Structure 1
């Protein structure tokens, strides 16, 4: 069974980005997270990470629709 909450380093590994990028996403509110414990350690709920990924897929699909390929892009 997968854990409900992930460390920021786990999220970074899942998304193949750096820990600092995930920290920025959390601090900016882009990726929902909670602070727990006396030292205020960040945790991201797996369900919220999956929602974030789906939201990014939708945003990317919209961007692709808004920015169709041109001849220069297909020549590469």
Structure 2
């Protein structure tokens, strides 16, 4: 199978570090469906493009 979408999958801990939130916050986003993830065994992996899209869509313009 060819991987057309280049990039890597991140662990929940890596996503939490990038977003500067707790791992529990990332788990909540995954379970609510706000952040798409793939389940691998008992853990989740989030594609780096999904993190970027989530952060891009979450900008709030104050003022």
TM, length-normalised to structure 1: 0.68
1:8 aligns with 2:12: yes
Question: 1:22 aligns to what?
Answer: 26
**Which stretches of structure 1, 4 residues or longer, exceed 3 Å deviation after superposition?**
none
Gaps of 5+ in 1: 69-76
Q: Distance in 2 between matches of 1:35 and 1:15?
A: 20
SS of the aligned residue for 1:27 comes to helix
Gaps of 5+ in 2: 1-6
Question: 1:71 aligns to what?
Answer: none
Deviation at 1:36, TM superposition (A): 1.4
Residue deviations 1:20-65 (CA, integer Å, cap 9, x gap)? 111011101111111013xx310000011000010001xx13xx3x
The structure with the largest alpha-carbon Rg is 1
TM, length-normalised to structure 2: 0.81
Question: 1:72 aligns to what?
Answer: none
The alignment of Structure 1 onto Structure 2 pairs a total of residues equal to 57
